[in-house]
Structure 1
């Protein structure tokens, strides 16, 4: 597509634009060189010729032709630098004095640049000169000039450089633009192929990397990460949809049964009991949807406001909140929280996250077991750890526990959304969460970046 209409290529247009700027820059540079190296020296030569010719005319007017001839010869003999030229022609066309081999036979403009013949070295040579053509009293014609062969050569060189340089710049620039356009189009085409595959529904397509580490490789790597993220989200949505349908089937079935039983009951006590059971099912469904909505908002909502959070005080409050639940099961909760720990984030969300972790620890630790909550500052971050001595989680399942509705061995406790909420909250805060073996039990470690 690019080669059928090259001017639609941004790379080629940028190349052509750069070529235009480069060519104009070279032209301006050579133009300044021409002004400094040719034009200004020519103006100085004209000024010199004007002064000399005015003096010669004054000599002719005051002392006649012979004095003028002597002045011309003296001018030639005393010349230093540029070779002086002159021709004095009588009214009848006879040459009275000259050091040139040829000259314009017909008088034209007063000032001209002309290639004269001269015998300065004994043989005829062609030299460029600037000459002033004057008409004297009595019908005489006087041509006075100075050699400018060096300026002529310099001017020719500048023009030649400008012509060849501009031509070569345009040719090489165009060739380079086409090559770059082809190279860039190939890299862009690989991105387009991956994008078209995604549009067609194949989320497994990825942009090929060349390993060069250049801008295109970095862009391709970023796009691949984005595609992996999209693929994961789509897969997650599919799993969530299936899980929601599966999880809703049982409570809705129970709710329908309770309502059907309720419709046929006349006994007030039975009606109250079945109404309470129905309300419990509705409450469970409401809690499930609230948890799902909270997770969805965390995963796709706007950036969290950056607020300074006193993590030490927050963790102390969470430990105090769950201490009674642990005591009911005869569990021992210990805490080791360093003072003065500060992070940036949403304090309510962080409290919910820690509460979920403590709730799981209390739930799965055995009666008479132990719980541990600790927080320390290390390596520029803050690490929070919650551990229990319960059955733990096998290494193969430690990533799956963060999936929505995942419950090991169909555990009837909860909906399997607590750790999903924890994972979403951790990601929103730019933190990292890991699960390890507490030997026995499970150790959950969350590492937050420390507030600046």
Structure 2
């Protein structure tokens, strides 16, 4: 396709033609109305003037008879201008005036008529057009008064000529402007198309160009760039997850195989085989927990869990999780306390929020032991703060250095101080994914001493308030 053909087929050029057509039709209608209204006003002015003259001449006839009327008409006929006068007898013979000839039958019909005529004072005898009125006088005399229409027609022609030129200029400028605008738009679209080709070829770092004008193309490019950044982050995360899975699962799978081979090679009785099988089952359960956590993270990040969201009480979830882990905390000598005095309504998935909070409590039990023999304490709170609901877990352990908190929420990341404890490094990652799914965030803060993890979620709008807003 040629460049011109490509230009003519663009939506921008077609829209320009549509707007140009609409504007041209409106301009033509406006000019036609102006020409028609001008013609009507001039005609009204002529009729008013002629009516006034006929009234005056009729009064002259009434006061002085035909002689006086002829005298007055003859005097007026000698004045230069476009006025027409004619006084005739019953038989149509002219007595006074400046009209040489009229179309046939004009004098026989009283009233207004547009007619062709010739003037007595015109040496060329050219034919003109006039608007005349014939008035019947007593004794059979007829009085004709009118105005030549040459000025009206000339003004009408001037308006039409101006209209034609205006339309021609509008069309030329409109088409030129259409080509200019379309070329600019097409240039930007071509640049976007070239970038998308590079992206489809695998260059996810490519971004659509932004002109900085803030128009709809800039807004589209901004949104697409944000989408591309999200896709690039997901692909990078997928690669990292794949690498981490391959790395972190290789060790337990190798242990499984080694134990099985060792049992086959060295076991001598049923008890040794049983011990090998129990060890293998424990290792398998740890692998299953790892895969379940990965699936839950993927479910949260993909947004599939939004279908099961309802209005729930986060305070009730906090009390339930606290009750679930209370015995485990007591066994480790940790005092676990829940502070959820009032309802904390959120709109979300109960299973995912419960699992996220349970992960935080589980981490606090593993790593939140008191420092230097101090009493260990974990506090689980659920409270409202403005338009947010905060689910927090605080401990009195060693905490996480500020420099490591960003890494701590990544998949399979286990900090140095946590490697002595069992785990997959997915607990905080799952909690962060669940918080983002619900429009919230996971924050890691100092507890002085220890760590404070906070899941901040939007407060659910009460149903009556939602109905009132919709109404």
TM-score by length of 1: 0.78
Paired residues for 1:11-160 under 5 Å: 11-38=12-39, 85=84, 98-100=97-99, 129-130=130-131, 146-149=147-150, 151-160=152-161
Contact 1:75 1:84 (C-alpha < 8 Å) held by counterparts: no
Within the candidate set 399, 413, 416, 1:392 is matched to: 399
Deviates more, 1:16-25 or 1:173-182: 173-182
**In the TM superposition, what is the alpha-carbon distance from 1:216 to its structure 2 partner?**
3.3
Q: Structure 1 156/416 Cα, relative in aligned 2: closer, same or farther at 3 Å?
A: same
**In the TM superposition, what is the alpha-carbon distance from 1:179 to its structure 2 partner?**
2.1
Contact 1:387 1:441 (C-alpha < 8 Å) held by counterparts: yes
Within the candidate set 444, 448, 452, 2:457 is matched to: 448
Looking at structure 2, the residues matched to 43 and 116 of structure 1 have their Cα atoms a distance apart, in angstroms, of 23
Looking at structure 1, the residues matched to 423 and 220 of structure 2 have their Cα atoms a distance apart, in angstroms, of 42
| 1:324 and 2:331 correspond | no
Paired residues for 1:344-363 under 5 Å: 344-363=347-366
Looking at structure 1, the residues matched to 150 and 308 of structure 2 have their Cα atoms a distance apart, in angstroms, of 78
Give the equivalent residue in structure 2 for 1:405: 412
Looking at structure 1, the residues matched to 332 and 242 of structure 2 have their Cα atoms a distance apart, in angstroms, of 36
Looking at structure 1, the residues matched to 199 and 72 of structure 2 have their Cα atoms a distance apart, in angstroms, of 92
| 1:420 and 2:423 correspond | no
Contact 1:116 1:129 (C-alpha < 8 Å) held by counterparts: no
Looking at structure 1, the residues matched to 28 and 152 of structure 2 have their Cα atoms a distance apart, in angstroms, of 19
**In the TM superposition, what is the alpha-carbon distance from 1:115 to its structure 2 partner?**
8.8
| 1:202 and 2:197 correspond | no
SS of residue paired to 2:366:
helix
**What does the per-residue CA deviation read over 1:380-402, in whole Å, with 9 as the maximum and x for residues that have no partner?**
22222222222222222212222
Within the candidate set 420, 438, 441, 1:429 is matched to: 438
Q: Structure 1 374/3 Cα, relative in aligned 2: closer, same or farther at 3 Å?
A: farther
Looking at structure 2, the residues matched to 143 and 249 of structure 1 have their Cα atoms a distance apart, in angstroms, of 118
Paired residues for 1:237-252 under 5 Å: 237-252=238-253
Contact 2:73 2:97 (C-alpha < 8 Å) held by counterparts: no
Give the equivalent residue in structure 1 for 2:286: 284
Looking at structure 1, the residues matched to 179 and 186 of structure 2 have their Cα atoms a distance apart, in angstroms, of 10
Looking at structure 2, the residues matched to 118 and 225 of structure 1 have their Cα atoms a distance apart, in angstroms, of 87
Contact 1:76 1:85 (C-alpha < 8 Å) held by counterparts: no
**What does the per-residue CA deviation read over 1:399-447, in whole Å, with 9 as the maximum and x for residues that have no partner?**
2222211111372521111112111111110002221222222221222
Q: Report how many aligned residue pairs link the two structures.
A: 425
Contact 1:2 1:185 (C-alpha < 8 Å) held by counterparts: no
SS of residue paired to 1:399:
helix
**In the TM superposition, what is the alpha-carbon distance from 1:84 to its structure 2 partner?**
5.3
Q: Structure 1 128/323 Cα, relative in aligned 2: closer, same or farther at 3 Å?
A: farther
Looking at structure 2, the residues matched to 210 and 339 of structure 1 have their Cα atoms a distance apart, in angstroms, of 52
Q: Structure 1 366/106 Cα, relative in aligned 2: closer, same or farther at 3 Å?
A: same
Paired residues for 1:237-316 under 5 Å: 237-263=238-264, 267-302=269-304, 303-316=306-319
TM-score by length of 2: 0.75
**In the TM superposition, what is the alpha-carbon distance from 1:364 to its structure 2 partner?**
0.7
RMSD over aligned Cα, in angstroms? 4.3
User: For structure 2, which runs of at least 5 residues remain unmatched after alignment?
Assistant: 54-65, 135-142, 462-471
SS of residue paired to 2:282:
helix
**In the TM superposition, what is the alpha-carbon distance from 1:237 to its structure 2 partner?**
0.6
Q: Structure 1 89/192 Cα, relative in aligned 2: closer, same or farther at 3 Å?
A: farther
